[in-house]
A and B are shown apart, each in its own frame.
Chain A
Amino acid sequence: MSGLRSFVARRLLLGVAQTVAVVLLVFALTEALPGDAAVALAGDQPDPARIAAIREAMQLDRPVHERLADWAIGLLHGDFGTSLASGRPVGQYIADGFGPTLLLAALTVALLVPIGFGLGVLAARHEGGLVDRLVSSVTLAVYAVPEFALGVLLVTVFALKLGWLPPTAVGYGTDLLAHPAALVLPILVLLSRPVCSLVRLVRAGMVDALASPYVAHARRYGLADARVRYLHALPGAVAPAAQQLARTVDWLLCGVIVVEALYVIPGLGTVLLNAVAERDVPVVQGLAVVFGVLTVVLNLGADVVARRFAPRAGVAA
Chain B
Amino acid sequence: MTAGTVTEAGTAAAAGRRRTGRFALGVAVIAVPLVLALLGPVFAGEPGPRTASFTLGDGHWLGTDFVGRDVWRQVLHGGRPVVLTALGAGALAYLVALPVGLAAALTHRRWLEELLMRPLDVLIAVPSLLLILLVASVFSPGAIGLALLVALVNVPDAARLVRAAATEAAARPVVEALRLQGESWWRVAVGYVGRSILRTLGADAGTRLTGVLYLVATAAFLGVGVAPDAADWAVMVDRNRTGLFVQPWAVVVPALLIVALTTGTNLLFDAALEKPGGRRGRKERRA
Interface on A for B, CB 8 Å cutoff? 14, 17-18, 21-22, 25-26, 29-30, 32-33, 40, 137, 140-150, 152-153, 155-156, 160, 167, 249-250, 253-254, 257-258, 261-262, 272-273, 275-277, 279-281, 284, 288, 291-292, 295-296, 299, 316
Contacts and interface: CB of A to CB of B under 8 A. Distances in A.
B244 to A, nearest CB: 7
Contacts, number: 138
B136 interface: yes
Contacts of A21: 122-123, 125
B126 A292 contact: yes
Main secondary structure of the interface of B (DSSP, over half): helix
A150 B267 CA distance: 17
B251 interface: yes
Interface of B: 22, 121-123, 125-130, 133-139, 160, 210, 213-214, 217-218, 221-223, 234, 237-238, 241, 244-245, 248, 251-252, 255-256, 258-259, 262-263, 265-267, 270
A276 B130 contact: no
A292 B127 contact: yes
B130 A18 contact: no
A288 B130 CA distance: 7
Main secondary structure of the interface of A (DSSP, over half): helix
Contact of A146 (B137, B252, B258): B258
A155 B266 contact: no
Contacts of A140: 266-267, 270
Contact of A281 (B126, B128, B137, B245): B137
A144 B263 contact: yes
A148 B221 contact: yes
A25 B138 CA distance: 13
A228 B114 CA distance: 43
Contacts of B222: 257-258, 261, 273
A72 B152 CA distance: 26
28 contacts: A17-B121, A17-B122, A21-B125, A22-B122, A22-B125, A26-B134, A29-B137, A32-B138, A140-B270, A143-B266, A144-B210, A144-B214, A144-B262, A146-B214, A146-B258, A147-B218, A152-B244, A152-B255, A153-B252, A156-B248, A160-B248, A249-B127, A253-B130, A254-B127, A273-B222, A276-B136, A291-B127, A299-B125
Contacts of A160: 244-245, 248
A146 to B, nearest CB: 5
A140 B270 CA distance: 8
A257 B244 contact: no
A291 B130 CA distance: 8
Select the residue from B128, B134, B241, B267 with max chain A CB neighbours within 10 A: B134
Contact of A148 (B127, B133, B135, B234): B234
Q: Closest 9 CB pairs between A and B?
A: A21-B122, A144-B266, A18-B125, A254-B129, A144-B262, A276-B137, A149-B255, A149-B258, A144-B210
